[in-house]
Structure formats: C-alpha cells, structure tokens
Amino acid sequence: MIDKNTAQKLLQDFLSIESITPNVKEAFDFLEDIFKRYNFEIHRVKFKLDDSYEVENMFAIKGNGSPHLCYAGHADVVNPGDYINWQNPPFSGKIENNKIYSRGAEDMKGAIISSLVAGINYFDKNVNTIGTLSYLITGDEEGLAINGTKPLLEWVVNQGYKIDHCIVTEPTNEDMIGDTIKIGRRGSLSFELDIQGKQGHVAYPKKARNPIPFAIKIAREISGEIDKGTEDFLPTNIEFTSFDVNNTSHNVIPDKAKLKFNIRYNDSWTENKLTEFLENIFSKHLEDNSINWQLNKISNADVYHTSSQGLSNILSDSIFRKTSLRPKFSTFGGTSDGRFISKYCPVIEFGLVGRTMHQIDENITLDDFQILTEIFDDFLVSYYSK
C-alpha cells in the first residue's frame, strides 16, 4: 500500500526529474522502479519514424483476463523557458502553501502518479481481482507525437494484448476536480491554399491577374462556423492563420497569394468530406475564373467520440461520491492522444484542473492530487466489480 505521505513524496520526486521531449529515460527509470516493486510486467519500447528523433515509451501491465483497463499518459513535458522567470526552479518539485510547483505538474505528471497509486493500492487490497490493469505512457506527446502513443498501441496489439477501456489522464477539469470528463475531441485539419495569379503593374490591372480579391472572397465565404454543431460537439470552425503575397512593392500586382487556415471539426465531418467541401468552393471562385490553385494538407488529427454511457457513467458516479459534483461531458479543447486510442477501444479523458499547464510556475494543489487519487481508487472498485 502507498499512503498519502508516500504518494506525495513520489509526486515530488517525479516532478524533480527533467523530462523535456524526448528526454524521458530518467523519468521512465523512476516509474519502472515503482512498477517493479509492485510486480507489474514492464516493457520499454523505442520508436524512430523517418528522420525524426528516437523516443522511448513504456507499457506496464498487471493482472490477467478481461476487463482490461488502461491508463494512458505522457511523461514528457514542454520546455519551461527561461528559468529566471520561475518563482522556483521548474524541476524543483517545491511545495509552498499546499501547492507543488514544477513543469509538468498539471500536464500530466501529477495525474500519472495519482493513477499509479490508485492502481497499486487497488490490487494490494483486491488480490483476487479478475481483470487487467495497464499503463501506457509515452515520451512524445508534447513533441511531434509520431513516435509515441500511436506506434506503442500497434506494438501492444502485436504482443497479443487487448485493451477494453482507456482513461487518458489529461487535465480536463476547468475550475475544480470533478467538473469535466472529456468524451471526445474535435478533429483538426490545417491547410495551405496557393492561388496563382499573374504579376503586373498596378496602373495596368487588365494586363495582370490579381490573386488577392479571389483570396479575400474565399476567406469571407469559409471563415467562421460552417455548421450548427452536433449533440456533443460545437460547430465546426475555420480560422485563418496567415495571408501572404510575398510582395514588398507598392506598384506591383503580386503573382500569387497563400492562405493558411485550420479547421476544428465535429463528428459530422471526415477529412475527405471537408476536403471535398473546400475544393468545391475553391473551384467556384477560382477555376470558373481560370485561376490555377493548389490545396495542401499540412496536418490532421481525427475527431473521436465515445458514448456518454458506460465508462463515462462509472467515472461520473465515482466523482460524485468523492466530490458531490456531477461532471459535464465535454468535447471542447485541442487534440489529444485519445484520437489514437479511440481506434482500439472506448476512451475518455480525466485528470487534474487545467489552470496553469504550460505556464510559468505551473502547479497543482496537494488537495487536488489527493482527491484525484481517491476518485481513481473508487473508480477501480466499481470498474472491476461490473
């Protein structure tokens, strides 16, 4: 068993380890030592896609049979920036006024330790449990996210493991522990649209082909919300991030224009449907006016959605028992590794409060850490008794 004081010491020690993407070896050494003490089977797997950096990942597992619950997270953290701006060194794990300060405290080392302590304590108290508990932890969530959760899941499946349900321990709560469970995430598509005009003198516009008016018409038509949303998702929204013509002259009509934009889309769309939607609009404005254009996809993260029944309700009941709060089910926010996991099993997200993640003096309260641990402990009791 791991008591409250020991859990806080584990948290403090874990936060004291610098683990900026992809340098997570020391963090995984620390976690492996804990898992081994409590008889988890440990796998440390490295991936390196193409010309990217090599990343180490961890899969720890205990128990046997179904149901198989997996806690997923990341041990890597974002760069803290200039240390001089921090009240305390960003990897000190300093405790002041019931708060613990460190890069990664909220996102997401605190929740990793909470879920780890809850899992260890549950199996210590319930040695005859039928079922499996695992921890899928990457070192590449804050980086390119190509050498982490996605290939690690493929590795897990190839080893013969089958995960039935998963909780990603992202900092989902907005104001207090227990107010929000993520049951999905919007998709994200980034594009660049190149419009080819014809250069010319501003005094002779008929001898040129100015791409700017066409770019403006397109931006006006697609900017903002393009649907009314769905039951669990906000409206799909398009935001422009750059409008560039690479022209420093005041008397020259440019020969090209580039629009950059991002789409956050709900579960009524797919990448192909969105691309077709855009191409039809661009054809109307450009091809019908004999303007050449090219649309390039820069990045994509699929939308995912888990029903608000089942796993979400079990966790909601645990939250209510420990906090008297009924969490809302949300899909708002940026992308997460849940998009990869959703292709294998139902996945939801729940962790600490997202007050200071990626900020100077990132911190969590020790009370929040303890409550989250208690919620996870209660959840495991309910999950394995179903």
Nearest residue to 383 via CA among 78, 133, 34: 133
H/E run at residue 311: helix 311-323
Residues 114 and 195 placed together within one structural domain of the fold: no
Distance from CA of residue 250 to its chain's centroid?
44
Final residue of a structural domain among 248, 279, 301: 301
- Please state, in angstroms and as integers, the Cα–Cα distance from residue 58 to each residue in 17, 72, 138, 153, 162, following that order: 16, 10, 6, 11, 16
Going by the DSSP 8-state scheme, the letter that residue 368 receives in this structure is H
- Please state, in angstroms and as integers, the Cα–Cα distance from residue 11 to each residue in 116, 119, 120, 158, 365, following that order: 10, 15, 15, 32, 12
SS3 at position 2: coil
Residues 179 and 232 placed together within one structural domain of the fold: no
Residues 278 and 318 placed together within one structural domain of the fold: no
Question: Per the structure, how many domains does the chain have?
Answer: 2
State the pLDDT at residue 289.
84
Final residue of a structural domain among 301, 324, 348: 301
Ordered DSSP codes for 118-146:
HHHHHHHH-TT--EEEEEEEES-SSS-SS
Q: Which alpha helices (DSSP H) does 63-147 contain, by range?
A: 110-125
SS3 at position 173: strand
Residues 146 and 243 placed together within one structural domain of the fold: no
Q: Which two tokens stand for residue 119?
A: 């899992």
Specify whether the CB–CB gap between 262 and 188 falls below 8 A: yes
Per-residue pLDDT of the chain (386 residues; tens, 9 = 90+): 999 999 999 999 999 999 999 999 999 999 999 999 999 999 999 999 988 999 999 999 999 999 999 999 999 999 999 999 999 999 999 999 999 999 999 999 999 999 999 999 999 999 999 999 999 999 999 998 999 999 999 999 999 999 999 999 999 999 999 999 999 999 999 999 999 999 999 999 999 999 999 999 999 999 999 999 999 999 999 999 999 999 999 999 999 999 999 999 999 999 999 999 999 999 999 987 889 999 999 888 999 999 867 999 999 999 999 999 999 999 999 899 999 999 999 999 999 999 999 999 999 999 999 999 999 999 999 999 97
CATH of the domain at 177: 3.40.630.10
Dist. CA 163–CA 37, nearest whole Å: 23
Residues 261 and 272 placed together within one structural domain of the fold: yes
Final residue of a structural domain among 239, 272, 301: 301
Nearest residue to 196 via CA among 208, 180, 178: 208
Residues 48 and 145 placed together within one structural domain of the fold: yes
CATH of the domain at 213: 3.30.70.360
Residues 181 and 194 placed together within one structural domain of the fold: no
Residues 174 and 291 placed together within one structural domain of the fold: no
Residues 157 and 83 placed together within one structural domain of the fold: yes
H/E run at residue 215: helix 212-222
Specify whether the CB–CB gap between 197 and 245 falls below 8 A: no
Beta bridge partners of 187: 265
Which residues form the domain of 203? 187-301
Distance from CA of residue 90 to its chain's centroid?
22
Dist. CA 332–CA 179, nearest whole Å: 13
Dist. CA 338–CA 169, nearest whole Å: 10
Supply the residues annotated as catalytic.
76, 141
Residues 148 and 43 placed together within one structural domain of the fold: yes
Residue 329, CB-side half-sphere exposure with 13 Å CA sphere: 20
Residues 199 and 324 placed together within one structural domain of the fold: no
Mark residue 99 as left, alpha or beta (left: phi above 0; alpha: psi -120 to 50; beta: remaining): beta
H/E run at residue 46: strand 41-47
State the pLDDT at residue 386.
78
Give the burial class of 124: count Cβ atoms within 10 A of its Cβ; 0-12 exposed, 13-18 middle, 19 or more buried: exposed
Residues 231 and 279 placed together within one structural domain of the fold: yes
Dist. CA 340–CA 141, nearest whole Å: 12
Residue 323, CB-side half-sphere exposure with 13 Å CA sphere: 25
Specify whether the CB–CB gap between 157 and 151 falls below 8 A: no
What is the amino acid identity at position 83? Y
pTM, 2 dp: 0.92
Q: Looking up tokens 């009509």, which residue turns up?
A: 253
State the pLDDT at residue 29.
99
